[in-house]
Amino acid sequence: MLSSAPGNTQSERQAFYARIGASHLTPLWEVLHSLVPQSPRSPCATVGWHYDEVRPYLMEAGRLIGAKEAERRVLIFENPALRGHSCLTQTLYAGLQLLLPGEVAPSHRHTQSALRLVLEGEGAYTAVDGERTVMRPGDFIITPSMTWHDHGNPGDQPVVWLDGLDIPLLRFLDAGFAEKYPDDTHPVTRPEGDANARFGGNLAPMDYTPPRVGASPIFNYPYAQTRETLTKVSRGASVDPHHGHGLRFLNPTTGAAPIPTIGACVQLLPPGFKGRPYRATDSRIFCCLEGEGRIDTDDWSFEFAARDVFTVPSWIAHRLSSPSEAVVFSFSERPVQQALGLWREERIA
């Protein structure tokens, strides 16, 4: 189309673009196909980090700054194709947070929702709106939008967890609000385990009606329970050729994702599992919890072991496999896409 243009048209057009550019105008026809692609073409890269490589840096950060001064001592995983943007996918942020013995990460709240996946150490707690929960390796913990939260480590070991937040999504929407609690720790108003007692036993308080859009009242999904479920499911259910034994975490009062903006899954890949290629429009961040395995796309592969973090952007076909047995946690903005009727998947034979 452009090549059939008369001789001087190209230079006339360039001059025209320059003139209208001064009025902050630009022609659609030069960008139409990247604005409205035939299928998603994420700018994000596929990328992974081995925990063994990152951990020494995190411990070094522990010597350089205290949790109180930092407010949150986190090393952010940055997508190499989006350096400087503090994000791993277009919608999600991920990082490793370290809390040393005796430290407190002071109470605050914000509109961004967070999830934690505990990776190392025992003895720390996280508090959500006045209820504390002990953090144990593998526990999946949520901090819903605008809930007060502080983290403390009264134990004697460094505690490390993976943070996942919808920071880039809220930045895109310009919907960020935050405030600090006047004290470092929020008063404890409910006993530990209260939320799981009230909402975790296939029961709910008699008059409870879930909000139309809201987070799960359960804020710790203990790994002991998740692992037991995976073990039992793997004995009974036939294995999904793409996902292995894949389960998603629920808000038990609605069946929706635990956080409106973030869905989370856990997969058990049985020994010798060789997953078929799969792609979906949500960009997914994975963290291996147990065992080891491998992820392959057409032009990238990554061998992972426990605590390694990796990501696959929207619409990139990938295969998961494991020689022995692996448990893999993952999260993405899938509930956002589903709420808007945008989510698609393709199971490739």
Binding residues for ligand GTQ, per CB under 6 A? 72, 74, 95, 97, 110, 114, 149, 163, 165
> At closest approach, how far in Å is the CB of 153 from ligand GTQ?
13
Phi, psi of 252 (to 5 degrees): -65, -15
Amino acid found at 168:
P
Amino acid found at 81:
A
- Contact of 311 with 44, CB cutoff 8 Å: yes
> At closest approach, how far in Å is the CB of 74 from ligand GTQ?
4
> At closest approach, how far in Å is the CB of 260 from ligand GTQ?
18
- Contact of 14 with 53, CB cutoff 8 Å: no
Question: Distance between CA atoms of 309 and 287, rounded to whole angstroms?
Answer: 4
**Residue at token pair 């490793």:** 96
> At closest approach, how far in Å is the CB of 167 from ligand GTQ?
7
- Contact of 74 with 36, CB cutoff 8 Å: no
Q: Closer CB to ligand GTQ, residue 72 or residue 274?
A: 72
Q: Closer CB to ligand GTQ, residue 151 or residue 279?
A: 151
**Residue at token pair 């913990």:** 141
Q: Closer CB to ligand GTQ, residue 110 or residue 318?
A: 110
Buried b / exposed e along 12-31 (16+ C-beta atoms within 10 A): eeeeeeeeeeeeeeeeeeee
Q: Closer CB to ligand GTQ, residue 178 or residue 188?
A: 178
Q: Closer CB to ligand GTQ, residue 99 or residue 320?
A: 99
> At closest approach, how far in Å is the CB of 288 from ligand GTQ?
20
Q: Closer CB to ligand GTQ, residue 97 or residue 314?
A: 97
Chain center to CA of 252: 20
The answer for residues whose C-beta is within 8 angstroms of residue 136's C-beta and 6 or more apart is 118, 122, 222, 223, 224
Partners of 76 in the β-ladder:
95
- Contact of 183 with 107, CB cutoff 8 Å: yes
Q: Report the candidate in 129, 83, 69, 42 with the shortest Cα–Cα distance to residue 312.
A: 42
> At closest approach, how far in Å is the CB of 315 from ligand GTQ?
27
Residue nearest to ligand GTQ (CB): 163
> At closest approach, how far in Å is the CB of 114 from ligand GTQ?
6
Q: Closer CB to ligand GTQ, residue 72 or residue 276?
A: 72
Q: Closer CB to ligand GTQ, residue 72 or residue 227?
A: 72
> At closest approach, how far in Å is the CB of 35 from ligand GTQ?
31
* HEC sequence for 205-263: CCCCCCCCCCCCCCCEECHHHHHHHHHHHHHHCCCECCCEEEEECCCCCCCCCCECCEE
Q: Closer CB to ligand GTQ, residue 152 or residue 293?
A: 152
**Residue at token pair 């530990």:** 192
> At closest approach, how far in Å is the CB of 36 from ligand GTQ?
34
Question: Distance between CA atoms of 93 and 166, rounded to whole angstroms?
Answer: 6
